[in-house]
Structure 1
Amino acid sequence: MPRRVFLAAAVIGVAAFGIYWWLTATALIGGALVTERAYTANLANGQTVFNAGGCSSCHAVPGQPDRLKLGGGLAIPSPFGTFYAPNISPDAVDGIGRWTEQEFIDAVTKGISPAGTHYFPAFPYTSYQHAKVEDIRDLFAFLKTLSPVAGKVRGHDVPFPFNIRRNIGIWKWLFMDGKPFLPEAAHSQQWNRGAYLVNSLGHCAECHSPRDFLGGIIAAQRFAGGPNPEGEGWVPNITQKGLGDWSEKDIGYFLETGQMPDGDSAGGSMVRVIRNVSQLSPGDREAIAVYIKSLPPVEGPPRPKKTKSGDQS
């Protein structure tokens, strides 16, 4: 009897390991594939994608004014550890200079490195997965026109067990659907453009939504604000529950200048976001404003009360 119990346990263990290995494999993740047909990149669109995607917010070298020096190094704190944004300049040694177009698409839309490993979801590929493949190809072409920046970024400070990249395959299985953005016929072209920018390239929900204990966005409270994922302060609710008094014009002006209707201005990481979206065309900012204004009111998580010492922002 003990031998049979042992064999049964061994079979169950092997089967469980096999399921785990299958679920965590990068090959399980579907997505866009480029073809061998000739493609002429639109560099102007690539620059738009760069600005809409906020690439420089994380990947520009900290402490210097040139937002196009994409040597990385920014520390991104989280409940799971501190991540450091990598070098995405065209440098052939330390950046993405040797990457193929397909490798870049896989990285951006699937969170898979050229070495075939999972990227941590501090990289917002859960939103980028909805981007058009042509936009990502144009972005890749635009990045290759920028100046190479030498310098290898340090490794992430992520403790066990969160540092096991293989486990991210299960996280992706839970929180990624691999679906492209599809326009809604019931809405205008402008609304759909705004929806596309907000939900894919702009990845607004990544900061403006509360997350569960696994770090996944709570779908029922999408855009409803919550604790700052970087650990300090509170990210505002951008549904009509939080922005009910803002007009489309107010939202568009904020995206251009960082100025709020009450005279206050953007702070924290939103300053970097404004620096990017202010480079978009007025039409794109208006489209974002139209979409944001259309979001129905959603009650977000309760904001902690300030303590007597005033240490809760």
Structure 2
Amino acid sequence: MYDGASIYDQLSLERTVKGLSNLGIRQSPLTWEKAKRWARQFDEGPEKALAWLILRFLVFRTTDQLESSIRQALKAASQDFGRKLSLPEETDWRAILEGRIGDLNFYCSPPTLATYSLPGKSGELIARLVNRVFKVDKSYAHDFSVIGQNERLLIVDDGTFTGEQLSGFLDNYMPAGSSPDRVAVVVAIAHEAAIAHLAERHPNVAVFCGEVLSKSHCFESLSLSWVSNRLWPYLDVSPLDVYKSICEKHNLTNGGSASLGFGSLGVMVGYEHGIPDDSLNLLWEKSETWLPLIER
């Protein structure tokens, strides 16, 4: 049943989504044309309403935006290491990072123990960015079986949402246990669940991020807010139920019942270089009857 008192306005949502593309806030692969094609896969009615609400509230970060977030995370990490050396608060964080003040040598590595990382992997991409833009020497964790007294290893990635991948890496990385004060996690975006998970599992390894996502940014909380704020125009069905029915209809549950992404957090995040599997299956899964919004 359609709620006549709802403030849902599809044309307004479409204009907003188009405007995000026109302003460059969203770029390829999330172009306006791609958004329209993805939305056409939804049936008219509740499905179509869900499509445009997801497109409106999706968090999308371009490479420039990720670089800005990484800069904030690196600044916080550099200043933290500086404080531990009793450097003045006003010390230039870049001078610390570059070893000009404090006599520290910084290195960055993707979160892997392999002898190399695939070029398209997110950690590898961010490590290259940190090396290129911020002049931090790029290396790999396996090169540091022992981290020297004046060395600091930054484990970098685009984001962490459940924290499980990074926690698993740290579990198996010996220096994270023997010299945790010389290791730090630096990511552009972190979900509060990941921060809590890493703090519990590895309390002595500092985590720095440029942007924090909370439960309120995720699908289930957002869907409740859409209903309470009358953005959702249907009285007899919830956004979550519509979402689950679409995933079942198009076989987007990845061989099981889970449809809210890895860890079932319901993250709604995409990047210019791809999309994490923590995000909604509807955004990145594909099937014989479904094309993703952003390819993994």
Q: TM-score, normalized by length of structure 1?
A: 0.26
Point out the structure with the larger strand share.
Answer: 2
Structure with the greater relative contact order (CA < 8 A, sep ≥ 6): 1 or 2? Answer: 2
Q: TM-score, normalized by length of structure 2?
A: 0.27
